Structure 1
Amino acid sequence: MVKCLDQLKKITGNALDESQVRMMNPLVLAYIGDTIYDLLVRTYLILNNRVSVHNLHNQAVNFVKAGAQAHTLEEIFEKLTDEEKNIVRRGRNAKSGTVPKNADIGEYRYATGFEALLGYLYLTEQVDRLMEIGQWIFEEK
């Protein structure tokens, strides 16, 4: 992941320091965090299952739907640092302007906070911490 981010920095000529990432709109962090979580889940499923793509998709949905993300966040919240909890709160409290289709608003907001945390960890290149959180999640499943 870090190598990919480093290459993108070279291609664009842009880099973000931690203070810039911290000041980002939490919905931007959630935007990238959504993809990071999806990548982690899909990779985990592929490495641990030899099933059809259809079954992989169904299993992935069980991880990435808002209700599951909200539950995951609830399970790991006490293990987070104060800084990470603050990122989650900012993401949870951000006003997205969209209404979730298949989740209640509370679950949706907690899922947004969870995704914001993952986006923050990725953009600040805290990949070891991202993987530690991933391990907690996958151990529960």
Structure 2
Amino acid sequence: MNESEKIDPRELSPLALAFVGDSVLELLVRQRLVEHHRLSAGKLNAEKVKYVSAKAQFREQQLLEPLFTEDELAVFKRGRNASKASVAKHASPEEYRASTGFECLLGWLYLNGQLERVHQLFEVLWQQFEPDQK
């Protein structure tokens, strides 16, 4: 693999951005959980899943979408509309597409160096999202 040239995030596919965004969200959730809870690894994982599942990300995106800038909304929609061959076992196609769009947005922000914005959105999510709500 030739790593001499860095690829501009604007040139990446929505699914490549979602690949990164999934990890961004998971890392933020894991960090927050271990900073504030003394739980076993198994219980930490069970709590983490409440935030990073397709169903949870769908609800998180709905909570945060009113805060998206015009550019962020365009990136989210690009990710949501990316074609996927499969869907999650425990999510509807709508939930899965929206969660992919949300991951795409997080990946785009992260790769563009907009970490402050990632943290702003995550703080709103952490303060307002109810993970046990169905």
Global fold match (TM > 0.5): yes
Q: TM-score, normalised to structure 2's length?
A: 0.90
The answer to whether structure 1 residue 29 and structure 2 residue 17 are counterparts is: yes
1:72-104 deviation line (CA, Å, top 9, x unaligned) = 000110111000000000000000212321111
The answer to whether structure 1 residue 48 and structure 2 residue 39 are counterparts is: no
Amino acid of the residue matched to residue 124 of structure 1?
Answer: N
Tell me which of 2, 6, 27 is aligned to 1:15: 6
Amino acid of the residue matched to residue 6 of structure 2?
Answer: A
| Dislocated runs of 4+, deviation >6 Å | none
Q: Which consecutive unaligned segments of at least 5 residues does structure 2 have?
A: 130-134
CA RMSD of aligned residues (A): 1.1
Write the distance in 1 (CA, Å) between the matches of 2:114 and 2:64: 17
The answer for the alignment partner of 1:102 in structure 2 is: 90
Write the distance in 1 (CA, Å) between the matches of 2:78 and 2:39: 38
Paired positions, count: 127
Tell me which of 113, 118, 121 is aligned to 2:101: 113
Within 5 Å, which residues of 2 pair with 1:64-103?
Answer: 64-103=52-91
SS in 1 for 2:39: coil
SS in 1 for 2:113: coil
Q: TM-score, normalised to structure 1's length?
A: 0.86
Residue 13 of structure 1, CA deviation: 4.1
Query: Which of the pair is proportionally richer in helix?
Result: 1
Write the distance in 1 (CA, Å) between the matches of 2:49 and 2:11: 31
Q: Percent identity?
A: 35
Amino acid of the residue matched to residue 75 of structure 1?
Answer: L
The answer to whether structure 1 residue 131 and structure 2 residue 122 are counterparts is: no
Amino acid of the residue matched to residue 40 of structure 1?
Answer: L
Write the distance in 2 (CA, Å) between the matches of 1:22 and 1:121: 11
SS in 2 for 1:88: helix
